[in-house]
Amino acid sequence: MKTNDVILQFTAKIVFFIIFFYAVHIFFAGHYTPGGGFVGGLVTSCAIVLLIIAFDLKKVQSILPINYIYLVATGLIVALGTATFSMIAGKPFFTHSFDYFNLPILGKTSLHTAALFDFGVYLVVVGVTMTIIQTIGEDE
Amino acid sequence: MNNFLLLPIIIPFFFGMILMFGQKKLAYQRITALFGLVISIVCAFALLATVYENGPQSVTFGSWPVPFGITMVSDTVSALLVLTTLILAFFIVWYGFGSIGKQREQFFYYPGVMFIITGVNGAFTTGDIFNLFVFFEVLLMSSYLLIVLGGEKAQLRESIKYILVNVISSALFVITVAFLYSVVGTLNMADISEKITEVNQPGILTVIAVLFLMVFGMKAAIFPLYFWLPSAYSAPPIPVLALFGALLTKVGVYAIMRTYTLFFTHDLSYTHELLLILSIITIIAGCIGALAHFDVKQIIIYNIVIAVGVILFGVAQMNEVGLEGAMFYLIHDMIIKAALFMLIGIVIFVTGTTNLRKMGGLMKTYPALGWFYLIAAFGLAGVPPLSGFIGKLLIVQGGFQAGNIWTSIFILASSLVVLLSVIRIFIYAFWGEQGQLSKEINKTTYNRLFFPTMLLVIVSIFYGVGTEWIMPFMEDAAKILTDPSIYNDAVMKGGE
**How close A95 comes to chain B (CA, Å)?**
4
Candidate from B21, B23, B60 with C-beta closest to A92: B60
pLDDT of residue B92: 94
Residue type, B180: L
Give the CA angle between residues B174, B175, B179 to the nearest 5°.
115
pLDDT category at B437 given cuts 50, 70, 90 is confident
Angle, helix B153-184 to helix B203-220, in steps of 10 degrees: 160
This complex has an ipTM of: 0.91
> Number of Cβ pairs closer than 8 Å across A and B?
43
- Alpha helices (H) in B263-385, listed in sequence order: 268-292, 296-317, 320-351, 362-365, 367-381
A16: containing domain: 5-138
Closest alpha carbon within chain B to A90: B3
Residue B38 scores a pLDDT above 90? yes
Q: Tell me the per-residue pLDDT of B90-135, one tens digit each, with 9 for 90 and over.
A: 999 999 998 888 888 889 999 999 999 999 999 999 999 999 999 9
Mean pLDDT score across all residues of chain A: 89
- Mean pLDDT for B224-243 is 92
Residue B51 scores a pLDDT above 50? yes
Question: pTM here?
Answer: 0.94
Hey, which residues 40-99 in chain B have their CB within 8 Å of chain A? 59-63, 72
The DSSP bridge partners found for residue A99 are A111
- Mean pLDDT for B153-169 is 93
Closest alpha carbon within chain B to A70: B21
Across the interface, whether the CB atoms of B13 and A92 are under 8 A apart is answered no
Mutate which of B9, B17, B19, B25 to disrupt the A interface (most A C-beta within 10 Å)?
B17
Dihedral over Cα of B202, B203, B206, B208: its sign: negative
| Contacts B13 to A, Cβ<8 Å | 80
Taking a C-beta distance cutoff of 8 angstroms, is the pair A29, A115 a contact? no
The DSSP bridge partners found for residue A102 are A108
Of the listed ranges A114-128, B179-193, B370-384, B440-454, the least confidently predicted one is: B440-454
Q: Tell me the per-residue pLDDT of A75-95, one tens digit each, with 9 for 90 and over.
A: 999 999 998 888 888 888 888
Across the interface, whether the CB atoms of B3 and A76 are under 8 A apart is answered no
Measured CA to CA, the distance from residue B431 to residue A74 in angstroms comes to 54
- Mean pLDDT for B263-278 is 90
pLDDT of residue B496: 43
If one counts the domains in chain A, the total is 1
Q: Tell me the per-residue pLDDT of B359-390, one tens digit each, with 9 for 90 and over.
A: 888 888 889 999 999 999 999 998 888 888 99
Residue B493 scores a pLDDT above 80? no
- Mean pLDDT for B47-58 is 90
Least Cα distance to B87 among B377, B336, B379 occurs for B336
pLDDT of residue B494: 60
A69 and B CB contact within 8 Å: yes
| Contacts A95 to B, Cβ<8 Å | 61-63
Hey, which residues 97-126 in chain A have their CB within 8 Å of chain B? none
Across the interface, whether the CB atoms of B21 and A91 are under 8 A apart is answered no
Measured CA to CA, the distance from residue B174 to residue A97 in angstroms comes to 32
Q: How many residues does chain A have?
A: 140
| Contacts B3 to A, Cβ<8 Å | 87, 92-93
Residue B495 scores a pLDDT above 50? no
Phi–psi pair at B71, nearest 5 degrees: -100, 135
Q: Tell me the per-residue pLDDT of B404-425, one tens digit each, with 9 for 90 and over.
A: 899 999 999 999 999 999 999 9
Q: Which helix (H) or strand (E) holds B57?
A: strand B57-60
Closest alpha carbon within chain B to A97: B62
